[in-house]
Amino acid sequence: MNRFAVFPGSFDPFTLGHLDVLKSALDLFDGVTVAIGYNTQKAGLFSPEDRIKMIKIATAGYRGVEVCSYTGLTVDFCTSMGIHFIVRGLRTTTDFELEQVIAQANQKMAPEIRTVFIPAGPEFSFISSTVVRDVLLNGGDAQRFIPSGIDLNQFVQLPK
């Protein structure tokens, strides 16, 4: 039986923490679709197209990874793809509390879809896209928080 999962998020940008969770998910599932959810009303620092490029660079050596973007509800996207598992990464207990509420709402809307929580390794638990964006926007070096091979400067004009 093949098992596939969706790993949804904004990934603005994709971090070492995201990659750590994805690696763990690949140990559990035959394939994982990294799905960039975005709201057309909100502008991120990186375009959805650039986020896709970054994730493809970061996951080039991994089998079973697909990358795409979507709008709307994650459970609707999963249903359209025929996927019954959602992977969510956890860094802190605060993440768990928020993710648990979302998982419960998703379970009510689509009982056939299960959410699997995967904690990030302790060496990555402090890394968030918000922190990375803040470092970038304030002229700091955020490359240490990003998977190797991704040059953030090629995707966005950063302050010097």
Q: Which residues are catalytic?
A: 18, 42, 91, 129
- Residue at token pair 């991704």: 150
Strands 31-37, 85-90: pairing kind = unpaired
CA-wise closest residue to 58 among 81, 78, 34: 34
In whole angstroms, give the CA distance from residue 68 to residue 54: 12
Report DSSP state, residue 139: T
Report DSSP state, residue 42: S
In whole angstroms, give the CA distance from residue 85 to residue 155: 31
In whole angstroms, give the CA distance from residue 155 to residue 141: 15
Residue type, 1: M
